[in-house]
Structure 1
Amino acid sequence: MSRKLRVAIIGGGQVAETVHASYYLTRSELELVAVVDSNIERAQSLANRLGIAHAFADADEMYRQCQPDIISVCTPNRFHHQHVMQALENGCHVMCEKPPAMTPEEAAEMRDAARKAGKVLAYDFHHRFASDTQFLREQVVAGTLGEIYVTTAKALRRCGVPGWGVFTNKELQGGGPLIDIGIHMLDAAMYVLGFPAVKRVYAHSFQKLGTLKHSGQFGEWDPKTYTVEDALFATVEFRNGGILRLETSFALNIEPVSVMNVEFCGVNAGATLFPAHIYQDEAGKLVTLSQRESADTERHFKSMRAFVDHVLGAPVSIADAEQGYLIQQLVAAIYRAAESGESIEL
């Protein structure tokens, strides 16, 4: 490579600093040249802390001055489509935070634009990059579990409404726990299963606690402006006859503080994702076939590494634009089912 690839980050919040910028700074092949945020003070503060040369409030000006090769999009969900499309139009590869967009139509347009531009578009569905997830995917392909007919994905918090950002604003986020944390376990489950074709979905959502409480595990929020669901439960039917049950919440009266895991029930064996554990029953006793001692916690950086390596030409798997579209389509169908009270065919 004759020169370093120039990287800019759009959105100067927590994930931009702790994940995207922090990883880019570890790569000698990259040069982190700019931060863009509508709040110029926040952009400048992040640039100063990390020694980044430029800070901008306007993305157009950043593209004119810095001519980046790679863009990370770390803005609220509502702006993902706009910023990804702009980056692709400027000839950049893009790593975008999840979810891809607000609607499947936007995600499809982003996918098509990336194909037309011949650029990499990846999404930070980082749980699929855990060693646990990769191991279980290999075991599913090898047939260790046999036919998997029931999968249960849980992304639950007892009282974990984010007290920062715009997570309680439906207009800017598109939803609550489903589109924020539930989407992560949904993606991990679909990845392990090999993205089976979906037949229909059923769902129920609730807004019971977020408008009553005002503080919890992740700080305080204003119940008067809380416009997202605080719990959602869905069943996804696959065309192969299997089902996936999804449970997700920001606030729900459960015993554990949080649950982020997926369970797979197959004809030959069952499995739990974090940490990866494959087991079966023999005469009423649980027999472990294989087990990791602890769950992989380096998922974020592994996701970023896969994206950068892919941009540099390595034959590594990423959470690509097509899979991002499929997940966005499924999330939208779940929300429609919950709102209508009817099943949604896909």
Structure 2
Amino acid sequence: MLKVLIAGTGFAGEGHADAFRAAGCEIAGIVGRTPHVTEDVARRKGIPFAGTDWQAALERCRPDIVSIATPGGAHYDPICRAIAAGCHVFCDKPMTDRADTAAELARLARAAGVKTAYAASFRYAPSVQHAKRLVAEGAIGAPTEIECISHFNLDRNIPFGWSHQKSAGGGRLNNNFTHTLSIACAVAGEKILSVMGEVRDDLGRAPIVEGVHNFATRRDHIPEDLGDPALKWGESDVEWSYTVLARLQSPFAEKPVSVLFKHGGLVPRFHEDHIVIYGAKGAIYIKGHYGSGQLSLWGPKAGWRDLPLPGDIAASVPDVAGETEQCWHYLARAFVGDIRGEPVEPYPTFREGARYQQIIDLIRRDDGWTDVSGLD
């Protein structure tokens, strides 16, 4: 049985542990920053080893796989150590906080001959898998355009943490765009030809609160009195909204597919978030910011009609609550199968993770504008 060591004790750490167990692995240990939190998670999840020293855990547990479930800014060193120990690496997005370190990790993994998985994993949402099949079958003709629209209306007073800091892997590009880019590539084609975009930080600052360990429950820690003069504040240095244009090369179209990614982290939605794939003969609409809702197909004669999920896709959905958790299960299942030498469909690896990180750095330069203020 393959042994897995988990880095991270929050929402992702617990979710990764469940996903690898469901894939038939043994969870040998878990490592976190805070001893009592790490020990509590290990006890609740039935994990035999809990520690705060990553190198010591690698030597003690001798895992076949490490699963990196910490914020992106904390990925580089533990992944380097895991690769040096000959471990296969499953890493949540983003790869790291910078393009150069992400590319270095991809090179190190290739040189060491270890397998890698990159968890920009909402490409496994059942309706996205359905859309991928429909496009490949020619249901909408040659794909021409894709739009990915989402507005999260996040509370501006969520406690200051990794999501507010570029050095920690924060920002909406790292934590939203990675998923939607992966979805667009899964449906239309993996080759990204060109990209440009704009980012905005409309947050400014957030209250500093101690004791926030789990990303999923951070809203519970918003201070009741935001006017308290003793309250400390941290300054955001990342984007909370973005607009990105990309062109993808598609095996189903002669011309590049145009993609619009529009995300507002702090603004409310009016209609539902959605993903739409347009083609020369039809269109596919999926509800939800990561395409996890109802899929509808448009044709020139029938108009829009809701389609049921194909039986084989429905049967493959992991029996766990939560869209994020389901997608981790899909990817862990493929990754473990590949390590065991079983035939599996291609899945995102460090190659994609490094490429996405380089694209994010390019977008953050925000230099795609042409000054037309002097035109008559």
TM (norm. structure 2) is 0.78
Q: Is the 8 A contact 1:91 1:119 kept in 2?
A: yes
User: Which of 11, 33, 57 is the matching residue for 1:14?
Assistant: 11
- CA, structure 1 residues 308+165, in 2 after alignment: closer, same or farther (shift >3 Å)? farther
2:168 maps to 1:172: yes
Q: Match of 1:103?
A: 98
Q: Match of 2:299?
A: 280
Q: Using the alignment, how far apart are the partners of 1:46 and 1:250 within structure 2?
A: 30
Q: 1:245 Cα shift?
A: 0.7
272-281 vs 66-75, which deviates more?
Answer: 272-281
2:282 counterpart letter in structure 1:
A
Q: Is the 8 A contact 1:160 1:250 kept in 2?
A: no
Q: 1:148 Cα shift?
A: 1.8
Q: Is the 8 A contact 2:160 2:207 kept in 1?
A: no
- CA, structure 1 residues 160+128, in 2 after alignment: closer, same or farther (shift >3 Å)? farther
Q: Is the 8 A contact 1:122 1:320 kept in 2?
A: yes
Q: Is the 8 A contact 1:211 1:226 kept in 2?
A: yes
Aligned to 2:82, the other structure's residue is in SS state: helix
- CA, structure 1 residues 115+142, in 2 after alignment: closer, same or farther (shift >3 Å)? same
- CA, structure 1 residues 35+165, in 2 after alignment: closer, same or farther (shift >3 Å)? farther
2:311 maps to 1:311: no
Q: 1:92 Cα shift?
A: 0.6
Q: Is the 8 A contact 1:158 1:255 kept in 2?
A: no
Deviant stretches of 4+, over 6 Å: 293-296
2:277 counterpart letter in structure 1:
F
Q: Is the 8 A contact 1:206 1:229 kept in 2?
A: yes
Q: Using the alignment, how far apart are the partners of 2:116 and 2:107 within structure 1?
A: 10
User: Which of 49, 52, 56 is the matching residue for 1:54?
Assistant: 49
**Cα displacement string for residues 206-239 of structure 1 (whole angstroms, at most 9, x for unaligned residues):** 222454899x994538764333222111112346
1:313 counterpart letter in structure 2:
G
Q: Is the 8 A contact 2:9 2:30 kept in 1?
A: yes
2:207 maps to 1:204: no
Q: 1:341 Cα shift?
A: 4.7
Q: Using the alignment, how far apart are the partners of 2:113 and 2:138 within structure 1?
A: 35
5+ long unaligned stretches in structure 1: none
Q: Using the alignment, how far apart are the partners of 2:85 and 2:142 within structure 1?
A: 45
Q: What does residue range 115-134 of structure 1 map to in structure 2 within 5 Å? A: 115-134=110-129
Over aligned residues, Cα RMSD in angstroms? 3.0
User: Which of 351, 354, 357 is the matching residue for 1:328?
Assistant: 357
TM (norm. structure 1) is 0.85
Aligned to 1:43, the other structure's residue is in SS state: helix
Percent of aligned pairs with the same residue?
23
159-168 vs 141-150, which deviates more?
Answer: 159-168
Q: Using the alignment, how far apart are the partners of 2:67 and 2:218 within structure 1?
A: 28
User: Which of 126, 129, 137 is the matching residue for 2:132?
Assistant: 137
Q: Is the 8 A contact 2:160 2:234 kept in 1?
A: no
Aligned to 1:62, the other structure's residue is in SS state: helix
2:200 counterpart letter in structure 1:
F
Q: 1:253 Cα shift?
A: 3.9
2:229 maps to 1:233: no
Q: Is the 8 A contact 2:121 2:182 kept in 1?
A: no
1:322 counterpart letter in structure 2:
R
Q: Using the alignment, how far apart are the partners of 1:232 and 1:217 within structure 2?
A: 23
- CA, structure 1 residues 289+54, in 2 after alignment: closer, same or farther (shift >3 Å)? closer
Between Structure 1 and Structure 2, how many residues are aligned? 330
1:15 counterpart letter in structure 2:
A
Q: Using the alignment, how far apart are the partners of 2:368 and 2:23 within structure 1?
A: 49
54-63 vs 106-115, which deviates more?
Answer: 106-115
Q: Using the alignment, how far apart are the partners of 1:155 and 1:90 within structure 2?
A: 40
User: Which of 258, 261, 270 is the matching residue for 2:283?
Assistant: 270
- CA, structure 1 residues 42+14, in 2 after alignment: closer, same or farther (shift >3 Å)? same
Q: Using the alignment, how far apart are the partners of 1:217 and 1:54 within structure 2?
A: 26
